[in-house]
Amino acid sequence: MKKVINEEGSRPIKIWTDEVEDSALTQLKNIARLPFIAGNGVACMPDVHAGIGATVGTVIATDKAIVPAAVGVDIGCGMNAVRLSLKASDLPESLTSIRHQIERDVPLGAGGAHRDDRIPGIFADVGVRYMELTKKTPGIMNKNFMRQLGTLGSGNHFIELCVDEAQDVWVMLHSGSRGVGNLIGRYFIEKAKKRMEQYFISLPDGDLAYFPEDTDDFNDYVEAVNWAQDYALENRRVMMEAVIAALRRHIPIEFTITHEAVNCHHNYVERENHFGRNLWVTRKGAIRAREGDLGIIPGSMGQRSYIVRGKGNLESYCSCSHGAGRKMSRAAARRTFTVADLEAQTAGVECRKDDAVLDEIPGSYKDIDQVMENQRDLVEVVHVLKQVLCVKGA
């Protein structure tokens, strides 16, 4: 831990970095003043940056309340990584055909969806649960929810082929609950705001509107967010199957999955016991890192990524960062960098190198190695992965 901020009338803010932008610090102070934040305070991860209401890279534990904006709208967004029996030398010299195959087989982009409504058997019960949810809450109905299962999305979501320090090949991907999760998040954030207005509750930031426990709104949100988190897990599982199938079409030798590192969320809320109390722990841009937990901390398109093992640091609510974290906005990245910069910063990586993905340039992210150094008391490194192929949904 780098420092602790203690202010009168506020819970402590525990920070694992020396660099926190002013807007993010304001958000941290706002959320630390909420009356239901647990006494151990707010944990600020080393990849922290400003978000909507709550910073990305924040962990809070709340007593008898949940803040929907502290979970965010990309509910259940997270990572999946598997190690293959392949070595780097087994890969073809050019990875272009593999990238194009993945781009054909996995729908990409903000609205990307499969052409038909595929309902895998393992997902059938989750689909039934969603239909029950929409009967109670019609405002969260998204007719594309089945067609977007197994799709990547856009922005910082990605599919990568990586090589570790032993030259073992990994597949790693990053995505969440897609359009339906976004709809659920936005619906309940707005509903919470209306409840605050209805009961004349004043907040330091309107986006920190909350639901008190044991209310219908709270119960409806918890049920919906749990469903979206299950959907996100299944979305990543289906995508991973498609990517493995794409690899088999271009790699002639037989290979197997030798290890699944993790399939976990980094935008979610869950009931956990900390400091002898059952609390609602919200991780927005953070992953759980209990002692022995395996996790994934990705860098950007041209940086390294890490498979880590948690140390169970109680001051962080057993958490760590979810990635490098942005150091500039997408608009600022486009003003600062050129496509030539993108080409230079992704040298050696088979990926798109055009204007559509310029805002994802490595230079717009914090230094992943510094982020890792700042959280040595949260996790230990198990594997270091270097990207050799990256698929983005522009």
Known binding-site residues for GMP equal 156-160, 266-267, 298-301, 305, 322-325, 392
> Measured between alpha carbons, how far is 80 from 57 in angstroms, rounded to an integer?
19
> Measured between alpha carbons, how far is 178 from 235 in angstroms, rounded to an integer?
9
Per the DSSP assignment, residues forming a β-bridge with 32 are none
Tell me which amino acid residue 262 is. Answer: V
User: Among this protein's residues, is 250 annotated catalytic?
Assistant: no
Q: Which residues are annotated as a binding site for Mn(2+)?
A: 74, 157, 174, 266
> Measured between alpha carbons, how far is 220 from 322 in angstroms, rounded to an integer?
27
Residue of 363, 342, 340, 350 lying closest to 390 (CA atoms): 350
Neighbours of 186 (CB within 10 A): 15
CB 313 within 8 A of CB 289: yes
Catalytically annotated residue among 114, 259, 265, 322: 322
The dihedral over CA atoms of 208, 213, 215, 217, expressed in degrees to the nearest 10, equals 40
Q: In the β-sheet with 267-274, what is the strand arrangement from edge to edge?
A: 3-5, 13-15, 42-49, 56-62, 277-284, 267-274
Tokens 């190198």, residue located:
353
Residue of 104, 113, 74 lying closest to 231 (CA atoms): 74
Q: Which residues are annotated as a binding site?
A: 74, 156-160, 174, 266-267, 298-301, 305, 322-325, 392
List residues with catalytic annotation: 322
